[in-house]
Structure 1
Amino acid sequence: MTTDPYDVLADTPALGLVVDEDRGALPYALVHGEALVAAAAWALGEAGVTLVDTGTPWGTLVAAGEPVVLHDALCPMTPPDFIVGCVARAVERSCVVVGVRPVTDTVKVVAEGLVGETVDRAGLVAVASPVVLPPSVVAALDGPPSTDPVALVAGLRRRFPVELVEAPPAARRVGSEEDLRVLEALTAG
């Protein structure tokens, strides 16, 4: 019998931060009439995660003894059910859980200024949202983690067990207004 992820959150509350630092003005653009940061905060709330201000001292989060969910404002349409599943997985396995998307762009090797071989995309992923830190990892960190998602995951992988979980298409990261229009079309209805 599989445990309902919402049951895990009922027994183990989680704290959540919407990460919007170092992302320019894009987190305040609109998706379906709401700012990306608002949509991301809504997703955390719908998932049953308690939203905390990014200015909250890290020691306060450590003292809470709860998992911490980092939700990137540039992944505003991440479904609440996916967030819940990631939190449940992090709690059950006591590991960092990272939402990722497959890389679909062609990636080339560049050496000495020349474009070379095509990299096999099968082993590549793009960090999406969320990144869930179990309480043991929150306590082991000296302070707030990096706001750069790639640096964050790379640093965490050097110190802790990390599981990458394929996020649904709605959880894709946007990097421009054009990406935002694609996301809006993808999540319309």
Structure 2
Amino acid sequence: MPFALIHGEALVACAAWALGEAGVRIVDASVTWEAIVAAGEDLVLHDSLCPMTPPAFIAACLEQARSTGRPVVGVRPVTDTVKVVADHRVGATLDRDDLVAVASPLVIPAEVLATMAARPSVDLVLAVADLAAAGQPAETLTAPPEGRRVSSPEDVQVLDALTTAAG
């Protein structure tokens, strides 16, 4: 999926451009965890499946993390009906107002990075859960609609339409 096209560009390229426009220095997986921590900088993890996340939103998440010293994650409201399943039976409906869907980015302040023994998961949901388990729960910031995550070619088409300027 990261190489699917939106507006004629790969999703991963759009995500990288948004980071650059937000003033974030991009590093790749070849940089060691030790080097990332030693740099003493905040870490911004951006999901390429949220390719149209506006640079201003990424910058806002970074600013909130810097001002609070706590991790910050972009989220979207849950609009689907969510049911509890137990013993192979469908049960109660969860209140979707109490739920969020992790989007992007996840910003981890340098002070928090210094306490982490290992690189966070590239799966932002797992990274957020690991931070919470380590006593560093992420604050949430609601991402704009164009910051939604795509998971299928149909989702890319919807996001393309959503982010196409009216002509």
What SS class does the counterpart of residue 87 from structure 1 fall into?
A: helix
Aligned to 2:113: 138
Please report how far the alpha carbon of residue 145 of structure 1 lies from its aligned counterpart in structure 2 after TM superposition: 0.6
Q: 2:23 aligns with which of 37, 48, 70?
A: 48
Matched, 1:150 2:125: yes
Aligned twin of 1:28: 3
1:21-74 CA deviation, whole Å, 9 max, x = no partner? xxxxx0110111111110000000000111111221111111111101000001
Following superposition, the deviation at residue 143 of structure 1 comes to 2.1
Aligned to 1:165: 141
- Report how far residue 150 of structure 1 moved: 1.4
* C-alpha distance in 1 between matches for 2:158 and 2:132: 31
Q: Secondary structure at the match of 1:28?
A: coil
Question: Per-residue deviation at 1:161?
Answer: 3.9
Residue of 80, 94, 102 corresponding to 1:105: 80
Aligned partner (choices 158, 162, 167) of residue 182 of structure 1: 158
Counterpart CA distance in 2 for 1:91 and 1:38 is: 26
Given the alignment of the two structures, is residue 62 of structure 1 paired with residue 40 of structure 2, yes or no?
no
Q: Which runs of 5 or more structure 1 residues have no equivalent in the other structure? A: 1-25
TM-score computed with the length of structure 1 as normaliser: 0.84
Identity of aligned residues (%): 59
| Cross-structure match for 2:65 | 90
What is the identity, as a one-letter code, of the residue corresponding to 2:86?
Answer: A
Question: What is the aligned-residue RMSD (CA, Å)?
Answer: 0.9
Structure 2 counterpart SS, 1:51: coil
C-alpha distance in 2 between matches for 1:177 and 1:129: 19
| One-letter identity of the residue aligned with 1:185 | A
Q: Distance in 2 between matches of 1:141 and 1:113?
A: 37
Q: What TM-score, normalized to structure 2?
A: 0.95
> How far apart, CA to CA, are the structure 2 residues paired with 1:80 and 1:97?
15
For 1:129 and 1:54, locate their aligned partners in 2 and report how far apart those are by CA, in whole Å.
18
Provide the rounded CA distance (Å) in 2 between the counterparts of 1:39 and 1:163: 25
Deviations 1:149-176 (A, max 9, x none): 2111111112214201111111101111
